Amino acid sequence: MTSDVLTFTEGSIGRIRLNRPKAIHALTREMCVAMSEALRAWANDTAIEAVLIDHAEGRGFCAGGDVVALARSGGGDGSEAAAFFFDEYRLNHLLFTYPKPTIAIMDGITMGGGVGIAMPCQVRIATEATRLAMPETGIGLFPDVGGGWYLPRLPGRVGQFVALTGARLDGAECRYLGIATHYVPQAALPELVERLKAAPGRAAGAVGAFAETPPPARIEQNLSTIARLFAPDTLEEVIAGLEADESDWAETELGTIRTKSPLSCKVSLRLLKEGAARESFADEMRAEYALACRVVQTHDFLEGVRALLIDKDNKPDWQPAVPEAVLDETLDQLFTDLAPGEEWTPFPEIA
């Protein structure tokens, strides 16, 4: 049986290659554990100077987590989903605090859990094929894996826009927004990997030698509009602003938001508001874990996965169906801290 993630060394480089192409490398708990084990071993191995994360084959880096499996668990006691989030967030935090240079090649589809692996890396490479998104509100979830930390720190209100609409950003947009540190053509990636293996201690310089100026970022022309229309922290105000705006752009984005779970949209806006003020990434992971453990058992998550990924009728029956019906009390319950002993914790040596 071929492993869903390949971990090995080449010279002074630790290699992590996602290897589940039929699922666009969607993460399983076993994949997260395997990556963490390799990273922890390499952290203390003086022969390893840097870590490179990419995908072995197929049309994308990583489509996210295995949400169908999460929904199966959420429809029961949720314990398997909780175990997945616990290990996935430990991996995210391990990468965020990693003591050696880390490089992620975000080639092709990079969504959800894939964003969570790439964003903590010091060097993040986008290509002309990159399509990066946090589309969780469309399945009744929220942008986790550190989304509450990264998204509110993007320019203007782009993070709120991305969280609510699930907008796909191409490679040029990722570079423009700072999500990617470099823009490298797909065709140059094999030679780039060889250069990294030859000079692992100078990763940024090695990548820089292959980096090109990307095409103009399409999102640039909409930044001021996004900053204005997505400025409110309440979903009702965002929708009202889009309704009042007479541009085709606003009409399109309004139509998109109306297809999303109202509960998930409200959860996402609150997460980003709280995440912007958090002092550490560990605090963010702790909060997202408590939230994720509850959200996977909500009607909207189970219904969203059914409608988009199982039955594929694309007709989710969101409950409540409108933002005004999502009660503050419901949000408060979802955002409540877990009891002592149940909360998320990082690996002990990096606490």
**Known catalytic membership, residue 113:** yes
Residue from 66, 107, 144, 284 carrying the catalytic annotation: 144
Q: Which residue, chain included where needed, has tokens 């870590």? A: 51
What token pair was written down for 97? 């605090």
Among residues 98, 136, 140, the alpha carbon closest in space to that of 118 is found at 98
Report yes or no: 121 and 95 within 8 Å, Cβ to Cβ.
yes
Catalytic residue among 65, 112, 159, 304: 65
What contacts 217, CB < 8 A, 6 or more positions away? 172, 173, 175, 176, 177
Report the C-alpha gap between 323 and 29 in whole angstroms. Answer: 33
**Residue the block writes with tokens 């199966």:** 72
In Å, what is the CA distance from 26 to each residue of 84, 90, 110, 197, 289? 13, 17, 10, 26, 19
User: Tokens 């398997």 identify what position?
Assistant: 80
Question: Among 133, 233, 194, 135, which Cα is nearest to 11's?
Answer: 194
Q: Is 65 an active-site residue? A: yes
Q: How many CB atoms lie within 10 A of CB 142?
A: 28
**8 Å CB contact between 79 and 70:** no
Catalytic residue among 58, 60, 78, 113: 113
136 is catalytic: yes
Give the active site residues: 65, 113, 136, 144
